Amino acid sequence: MDLNYTEEELAFRDEVRAFLKSELPTSISDKVKTGKRLTKEDMDTWHAILNRRGWLAESWPVEHGGTGWNAVQQQIFDDETCAAGAPRIVPFGLKMLAPVLMKYGSQEQKDYYLPRILDGSDWWCQGYSEPGAGSDLASLKTKAVRGGDHYIVNGQKTWTTLGQYANKIFCLVRTSTEGKPQQGISFLLIDMDTPGITVRPIILLEGTHEVNEVFFDDVKVPVENLVGEENMGWTYAKYLLTHERTNIANVGANKVSLAHLKHIGRQQKVRGRPLIEDPVFSARLAQIEMELDAMATTNLRLLSSPDSVANAGPMSSMLKIKGTEIRQALNDLTRRALGPYAMPFVSEALDTGYNEEPIGPGYAAPVSQEYFNNRKITIYGGSNEIQRGIITKMMMGL
Amino acid sequence: MDFTHTEDRTMLKDMVARFIADNYPLEDRNKAAEGSDGFSRDMWARFAELGLIGALFSEEDGGFGGAGFDINVLFEELGRGLVVEPFIASALLGGSVLAQLGNDDQKALITDVVAGSTLLALAHGEPDSYYDLAHVETTAMSDGDGFVLNGRKAVVLNGDSADYLVVTARAAGGTWDEDGISAFLVPAGTGGVEIRGYPTIDGQHAAEIVLDNVRLDASALLGESGKAYPAVEMAVARANVALVSEAIGLMEVCRDMTLEYLRTRKQFGVPIGKFQALQHRMATVLTEIEQARSAAINAAGRLDLPRAEREKAISSAKALAGRIGRLVSEEAIQMHGGIAMTWEYGLAHYAKRLIMIDHQFGDVDYHTARFVEFSRQAA
Ligand SMILES: Cc1cc2nc3c(=O)[nH]c(=O)nc-3n(C[C@H](O)[C@H](O)[C@H](O)COP(=O)(O)OP(=O)(O)OC[C@H]3O[C@@H](n4cnc5c(N)ncnc54)[C@H](O)[C@@H]3O)c2cc1C
């Protein structure tokens, strides 16, 4: 074992830094650093810049247009982009669907969809959850009935993140009611422009439009949009979920969040002294930092193991639990660090173009809404209760 | 000892509960919270008519209550209703300081406060004061017969709708001295008072206030010059009894909604309440709420004890309300799953208020340290 970066890794880090310095627009990184909302255009712009450099698909193999980077390189890239204030790449196409297509898709599907994910032609969203099928995903009811060369889809998906921007949705649909519920699920790729699809916003607790309901009313989907085999979708769905989990763990973002909290701790004064010198606050901060340092290594241990191990074992569930709990602890302590200034909430202040004087310190505006919004991370991607269930099931063989 | 409320208080509690159940739906509350004042003037007038503002003042000050348990009983119900009208700002903060320090002329205003036609706010906290009550940098300089005030006040609860601000300013001493702080009764329109109101994340309203050479007559001074701190501390103690009691009401709503959801939401063919992983956590939530309730009772019952005993009970209750409030709101959301994350479902509005109570007049860490400080003094 060796925890130090090699010469090559350091050189790679410098290359990434130089790239970010010259290519990441400050108009975008300023927003990320100050917690402002990104527009779709901001996200598209950064996606295109990364693609131009060939660094968009950090976890894809070279044959499909990926970087072919190893785990350490990916982590370096992740750390550096987060630290520089780069937006998080919307994961649905790049990090969730793509691995499924590479492993289970037809040659035509790979040839058609993978390049479109890279060049931004397609914005994918995830159609897994339904009102009645959350944790018990296999009980999903949205139905696809085959008739000749197409399926007719009826039903409803919900919680569809950024579905308002998407032109494609990958869906789990029921194609059979025989046998166990898991045995009748198929994985379909659906064009959002198809007649019969309606998207309705769901407003989240801090007042933002981030998720949607998607309704399917006799939606016609060509059979060639089926991924893999009919009724085998559950296998693909689970494979995708392990990738979703690892992505949610988000080590790079946690590191930035910790650094930001320290910055706030140095600015914020209590009885004239920086808050970070307060013994109780600094102990709380230290506990999170210790956890994060260990978890970052867990993450690298997982990512550097062979794919079969990483995706079959309980480690991705452990990472999801730790990564999200650390993030929530950071959000919580950041909120507390603000004192009374955690309360003011002028939503427009987080939009582009707002230029009134901030209320309280400049870093205060996004903090509490982020704390509340990030309650979601222990719920989605398979709730942390479900992850704990997966871990014990695997380890105990019960 | 007796752990039942008096008949009067039981009647007050039932009356408020019924009124809120019949007249205060969450949608109306949210609409009022989004309005320019952050509350409904009409609803405020109706609360006044019911005598709810008067219930927070003693008889000698023009009310018909004002004891710790009056605050406790009323605010549990206001919490259940997620009420946004300015009870704390006007009656408990501004009102308490005025009642304690005001001369007869000044106290005449309390009649209008009780009637709901005049609103008060306490402009005390400052941009750098964090939760420290004695931290006052705003200055009060003598000027002929009167005074000139300069400084800034931060996150002044309902400061944007008050008719009069009770403003604290330093007449003598250093930034953190309890001695040397004066209080003034300042009409909101006074020259040099600049008020910037805004919403808070839990549906309240607050304001940043700049005092720029604000000239006041001698008659604006409340009590003796430099001697206002004990009255402010008492007013904040009363507000904290209100906040911890409000928190109980909020926790009860979160608890009830979650219990109901655990019984009715089915996954894997059974109500999710069948999963022991959730049962044990719900049991913890229920147990902790009773702890918070007892601590709130302790604080309400010890409000009139000597300072150190009073402040220890207040800090204890506020620290527990902060810790348990967070537990209850986070667990309620988590055990609901996605539905709790929506604006529409409603739970989140209670959860947001519950979390923000920890940011008013001292959080868990502040009150734990304060408890230690007063324990040392008492020993
Ligand atoms: C902001 C947000 C964005 C989302 N984005 C997407 C998206 O883009 N696409 C998509 O398909 N889905 C998305 N989801 C949905 C998410 O995956 C589900 O919310 C999640 O799977 C939980 O389902 P549920 O909300 O129905 O809760 P439920 O499944 O009803 O769970 C309620 C509670 O019961 C617990 N529970 C359930 N079963 C068990 C058990 N066996 N043992 C112990 N505890 C249990 C849960 O952990 C939870 O605490 C999103 C959700 C949110 C909140």
User: If pLDDT is split at 50, 70 and 90, which confidence band does B378 have?
Assistant: confident
Two tokens, residue A365:
């505006």
Q: What is the pLDDT of residues A105-134, one digit of tens each?
A: 999 999 999 999 999 999 999 999 999 999
The pLDDT score that the predictor gives to residue A306 is 72
Q: How far apart are the first and last CA of chain B?
A: 25
Separation CA A223–CA A227 (nearest Å)? 9
Two tokens, residue B54:
């008067």
Q: Which residue in B174, B163, B166 sits closest to B149, CA to CA?
A: B166
Residue with token string 């789990």? A172
Please answer whether residues B139 and B170 qualify as being in contact, where contact means their C-beta atoms are separated by less than 8 angstroms.
yes
Beta bridge partners of A186: A173
Q: Which helix (H) or strand (E) holds B213?
A: strand B205-216
Residues in chain B: 379
A128 near B CB under 8 A: no
Q: Is the pLDDT of residue B82 over 80?
A: yes
Does the beta carbon of B268 lie inside 6 Å of ligand 1? yes
Two tokens, residue B130:
């964090």
Residues of B within 8 A of A329 (CB-CB) are none
The pLDDT score that the predictor gives to residue A15 is 97
Residues in chain A: 398
Q: How far is A180 from chain B (nearest CA, A)?
A: 12
Q: Going from the first residue of chain A to its last (398 residues), give the mean pLDDT of each consecutive group of 10, the final group possibly shorter.
A: 91 98 97 95 97 94 93 92 95 95 97 97 98 97 96 98 98 96 97 98 96 98 98 94 78 95 97 95 98 93 73 82 97 98 96 92 97 97 95 86
Q: What is the pLDDT of residues B152-211, one digit of tens each?
A: 999 999 999 999 999 999 999 999 999 999 999 999 999 999 999 999 999 999 999 999
Residue range B78-85: average pLDDT? 98
CA of A383 to the centre of ligand 1 (A): 6
Separation CA A257–CA A327 (nearest Å)? 8
Separation CA B62–CA B54 (nearest Å)? 7
The pLDDT score that the predictor gives to residue A303 is 80
Residue A267: which residues within 8 A CB-CB, separation 6 or more?
A: A274, A361, A363
Separation CA A192–CA A171 (nearest Å)? 11
The pLDDT score that the predictor gives to residue A312 is 63
- Does the beta-carbon distance from B201 to A332 stay under 8 Å? no
Q: Which domains does chain A have, with CATH numbers?
A: 7-89 (1.10.540.10), 122-231 (2.40.110.10), 245-396 (1.20.140.10)
Separation CA A127–CA A210 (nearest Å)? 14
Residues of B within 8 A of A379 (CB-CB) are 333-334, 337-338, 341
Q: Give ∠ CA B207-B109-B186 in degrees, rounded to 5.
A: 40
Please answer whether residues B130 and B99 qualify as being in contact, where contact means their C-beta atoms are separated by less than 8 angstroms.
no
Backbone angles phi, psi at A135, to 5 degrees: -60, -40
B31 near A CB under 8 A: no
Separation CA A58–CA B195 (nearest Å)? 51
The pLDDT score that the predictor gives to residue A377 is 97
One DSSP character per residue, A161-194 reads TTTTT-SEEEEEEE---SSSGGGGEEEEEEETTS
The pLDDT score that the predictor gives to residue B180 is 98
**Of residues A369, A375, A379, nearest to B201 (C-beta):** A369
Separation CA A335–CA B126 (nearest Å)? 18
Separation CA B332–CA A353 (nearest Å)? 36
Separation CA B183–CA B171 (nearest Å)? 10
Two tokens, residue A72:
């350490």
3-class secondary structure, A272: coil
Secondary structure E strands in chain A: 124-127, 143-147, 150-158, 168-174, 185-191, 197-203, 209-222, 226-227, 269-270, 273-274
CA of A374 to the centre of ligand 1 (A): 14
Q: What percent of chain B has pLDDT over 90?
A: 98
ipTM, two decimals: 0.97
Q: What is the pLDDT of residues B113-146, one digit of tens each?
A: 999 999 999 999 999 999 999 999 999 999 999 9
- Does the beta-carbon distance from A205 to B343 stay under 8 Å? yes
Separation CA A70–CA A78 (nearest Å)? 12
The pLDDT score that the predictor gives to residue A315 is 86
CA of A378 to the centre of ligand 1 (A): 9
Backbone angles phi, psi at A394, to 5 degrees: -70, -40
The pLDDT score that the predictor gives to residue B124 is 98
Nearest CA in chain B to A337: B130
The size of the A-B interface in CB pairs under 8 A is: 134
- Does the beta-carbon distance from B267 to A136 stay under 8 Å? yes
Task: Tell me, yes or no, if the pTM score tops 0.90.
Answer: yes
Q: How far is B207 from chain A (nearest CA, A)?
A: 9
Interface of A with B in 192-231 (CB under 8 A): 202-207
The pLDDT score that the predictor gives to residue A248 is 76
Q: Which helix (H) or strand (E) holds B157?
A: strand B146-157
Separation CA B114–CA B91 (nearest Å)? 8
The pLDDT score that the predictor gives to residue B377 is 83
Q: Which helix (H) or strand (E) holds A47?
A: helix A40-53
B236-260 b/e (C-beta count within 10 Å ≥ 16 → b)? bbbbbbbbbbbbbbbbbbbbebbbe
- Does the beta-carbon distance from B201 to A206 stay under 8 Å? yes
Please answer whether residues A61 and A234 qualify as being in contact, where contact means their C-beta atoms are separated by less than 8 angstroms.
no
Q: Which residue in B202, B93, B120 sits closest to A369, CA to CA?
A: B202
Q: Is the pLDDT of residue B223 over 90?
A: yes
Q: Give ∠ CA B239-B241-B246 in degrees, rounded to 5.
A: 90
Q: Which residue in A45, A128, A122 sits closest to A87, CA to CA?
A: A45
3-class secondary structure, A343: coil
Q: Which domains does chain B have, with CATH numbers?
A: 7-115 (1.10.540.10), 120-226 (2.40.110.10), 230-378 (1.20.140.10)
Give the 3-state secondary structure percentages of chain A, helix then strand then coil, rounded to 5.
Answer: 55, 15, 30
Q: Give ∠ CA A41-A215-A143 in degrees, rounded to 5.
A: 125
| Chosen from B198, B341, B372 to mutate, greatest number of chain A CBs within 10 A | B341
